[in-house]
Structure 1
Amino acid sequence: MTQERPLDTYKEEAIAGRVRKQLTVFPLKFKELGEGGELRSVLKTHKTLKGPKVHQAPEDFTEQYLIEPVLHALRYINPISEQYEGEGSHFVRRPTTFDKVENKQPDYKLETDDPESVCILEAKAANEEQFDHSKKRATEDIRKYIEVNTFAKYIESREKRYLIAIGTDGLRWTLWAKQVRTGETLEEITMVDLSDVVEVIARKENVIEGGRTVENTDIRRWLTDEFVPAFGAPFLVEHVQDHF
């Protein structure tokens, strides 16, 4: 008899499939601009994305064509999407929720279905976050929010339990969390680098040349195992709670 698979596995695979599709947006924009060489430079070196090459501020370009499509696929619905019905998990750009607590506001607030958690996200331009610690621009900002006691106390005063923080340059995603009632902090709970996946997709779409071919099913399987269980909207809070 075939053993039934948990429902969450099917949900993770479905979300992973959407993430894979949304990851094509980034390389296809470079193709449209005729800047495959710039994408190759971003994916193969530590050089930061150049604004003149993409006709937009690098951070804005990364948010629009990489971070937001991935967030939408992870089920933080883009509020301008027809899928958004005024409630449920979604992302909020440039929230002012904490303007009385901190002068600097996070780039995004991720609304989830969990009433005891607050989730923020700091976004940087592609290649501003490197796991070899040569550049950690997004997580440097995340650390400030996590370590500021007034920020944690404000969240606790709103009867919250967890501050969840994500730092990303679109290619590399890092998850932090703080139990605001005890002050316990978990740094870099999960770190995932999507640059190899984006490179494979860029080759499939003939944006850059060379390298090996990877089937879409293999990409989806990797995202299902490595990325979605930590960062997907249906799983994020439970993933954090499991680490405390």
Structure 2
Amino acid sequence: MGFENFDHDRYCAERLQLAFRKFIWEFSDEDSESAGATCRKLLNDETYRFKGGSVGQMPEEFTQRTIVAEVLNALGYTITHHPAELVKDERTQPDIKLENVGEKCVGIVECKALNRERNGREAIENLKDPYLERNSFAKYKKYPNMKYLVGIATDGFDWKLRVKDIEAGELVPEFGGTYSLVDDSNGLHYCYHSELKNGTNLHWPDIRRELAENFVSTFSRRNLRERF
């Protein structure tokens, strides 16, 4: 197959499938019998509060490591956790910095523990203030010509993309998007049943197609860069 037939979005969807499997494996590899039950509750009950006890880790750290970072990598981003390149008067930092969004863009990710965005708006509210509303990252010394501030808010399940035009001081609606890897896609649910319940892989082609068309098309690094 030549490069002219390469389907970037479908390729990213295949990488997402692997990311989903690795996330589910995190629960299946735990010694605690409650880990699998926790995974099921997280997927099926948006009000369930993940506290991390069944996996022996802090909730937000577990979320960032096991699903947020893996999904961002599948979408083509290079990430830095807890970046420290802010000027001295900056009191807060994003959870993740996206390194390769574009020459005139700075990308940041605000994370919350699993289900916190799905049953609330914790990540998006933190992303809006201070990061987007106050133009905090326009103060980066390394980016004096920055034009766009790209922000993603997520709890690993729900993903929200917001892009702000710094000069205009406004969000750019056509660049934004919202998608749930649990409620809009069957990928994580299906992966839970296929990996932990010995299911089949017959439905993956349809799941990958849906992810490519409705998630990757908006959130991937390549597709986002092409809009600027």
User: What TM-score bracket applies, with the shorter chain setting the length?
Assistant: 0.7 to 0.9
Equivalent residue letter for 1:59: E
| Alpha-carbon distance between aligned partners in 1 of 2:5 and 2:161, rounded to the nearest angstrom | 21
Kindly report which structure 2 residues correspond to 1:101-140, keeping only aligned pairs within 5 A, or say none. 101-112=89-100, 114-130=102-118, 134-140=119-125
Conserved 8 A contact 2:101-2:107: no
Equivalent residue letter for 1:125: A
Kindly report which structure 2 residues correspond to 1:212-227, keeping only aligned pairs within 5 A, or say none. 215-227=203-215
Question: For each residue in 1:187-227, what CA deviation from the matched residue of structure 2 results, as whole angstroms up to 9, or x when unmatched?
Answer: 69211100132111111112599xx9861111110111011
| Alpha-carbon distance between aligned partners in 1 of 2:92 and 2:5, rounded to the nearest angstrom | 37
Corresponding residue for 1:85?
none
Conserved 8 A contact 1:167-1:173: yes
Conserved 8 A contact 1:190-1:230: yes
The CA deviation at 1:102 is 2.2
Corresponding residue for 2:73?
72
Conserved 8 A contact 1:117-1:237: no
Conserved 8 A contact 2:194-2:201: yes
- Between the two proteins, the alignment pairs up a number of residues equal to 216
Conserved 8 A contact 2:63-2:112: yes
The CA deviation at 1:29 is 1.1
- Structure 2 unmatched ranges of 5 or more: none
Corresponding residue for 1:236?
224
1:198 is aligned, of 164, 174, 188, to 188
**Structure 1 residues 103, 198: closer, same or farther in 2, change over 3 A?**
same
Conserved 8 A contact 2:85-2:140: no
Query: Which segment is superposed worse, 155-164 or 112-121?
Result: 155-164
Conserved 8 A contact 2:87-2:139: no
- Structure 1 unmatched ranges of 5 or more: 1-5, 77-89
Corresponding residue for 1:47?
48
Counting aligned pairs with the same residue, the percent is 30
Query: Which segment is superposed worse, 13-22 or 164-173?
Result: 13-22
Q: TM-score of the superposition, structure 1-length normalised?
A: 0.81
RMSD (Å) for aligned C-alpha atoms: 2.5
| Alpha-carbon distance between aligned partners in 1 of 2:206 and 2:161, rounded to the nearest angstrom | 24
Query: Which segment is superposed worse, 8-17 or 174-183?
Result: 8-17
Q: TM-score of the superposition, structure 2-length normalised?
A: 0.86
The DSSP-based 3-state class of the residue aligned with 2:38 is: helix
Equivalent residue letter for 2:95: D
Question: For each residue in 1:7-61, what CA deviation from the matched residue of structure 2 results, as whole angstroms up to 9, or x when unmatched?
Answer: 5970111111111111111111111124211111111112121221110001111
Matched, 1:61 2:58: no
**Structure 1 residues 109, 101: closer, same or farther in 2, change over 3 A?**
farther
| Alpha-carbon distance between aligned partners in 1 of 2:88 and 2:5, rounded to the nearest angstrom | 39
**Structure 1 residues 169, 147: closer, same or farther in 2, change over 3 A?**
same
The DSSP-based 3-state class of the residue aligned with 1:175 is: strand
1:98 is aligned, of 77, 80, 86, to 86
Corresponding residue for 1:158?
144
| Alpha-carbon distance between aligned partners in 1 of 2:80 and 2:98, rounded to the nearest angstrom | 6
Equivalent residue letter for 2:203: E
**Structure 1 residues 60, 8: closer, same or farther in 2, change over 3 A?**
farther
Query: Which segment is superposed worse, 196-205 or 119-128?
Result: 196-205
Conserved 8 A contact 2:106-2:137: no
